[in-house]
Amino acid sequence: MLSPSDLRKEIENRLRKYLARDKSGIRKELLSLFVRAKSLTVAQIHEKLAEKFSVSYHSIASMVGTIASKLGILSTRRSPDGTTGVYEVKEQYVDVIEQAIATAV
């Protein structure tokens, strides 16, 4: 079991690797949306990213799912009506995300 500081370092490393593979800038923009809004649905993310990038709804859903499961910086809950998933950035990782975005090339 990782200590909280080791877990934080592991998430930092994963986040940096994830952003290093970002050729178009979409991953960086997606993470920036979460830092600003804190809580978003896939539909809301798609609407914002489609303004700048040619991207499908399903590819956005896949990216968000990867971030939630592999990076561990998002939590999921159901909307009040129970029809859509709402993704929220975990507060303890906001500064890590901001640093990674700032240093990403």
Which pLDDT tens digit goes with each residue over 46-70?
999 999 999 999 999 999 999 999 9
Average pLDDT of the chain to the nearest whole number = 93
Alpha helices in 21-69 (DSSP H): 26-37, 42-49, 57-66
Nearest of 62, 72, 61 to residue 96 by alpha carbon: 72
- Residue 58 corresponds to which tokens in the numbers above? 């399903």
Question: Is the pLDDT higher at 75 or at 104?
Answer: 75
* 10 φ/ψ angles, rounded to the nearest 5 degrees: -65, -45
Q: Look up the pTM and report it.
A: 0.90
pLDDT of residue 4: 84
Look up residue 41 and give its two tokens: 């649905």
> Per DSSP, which regions of 1-105 are E strands?
39-40, 74-78, 85-89
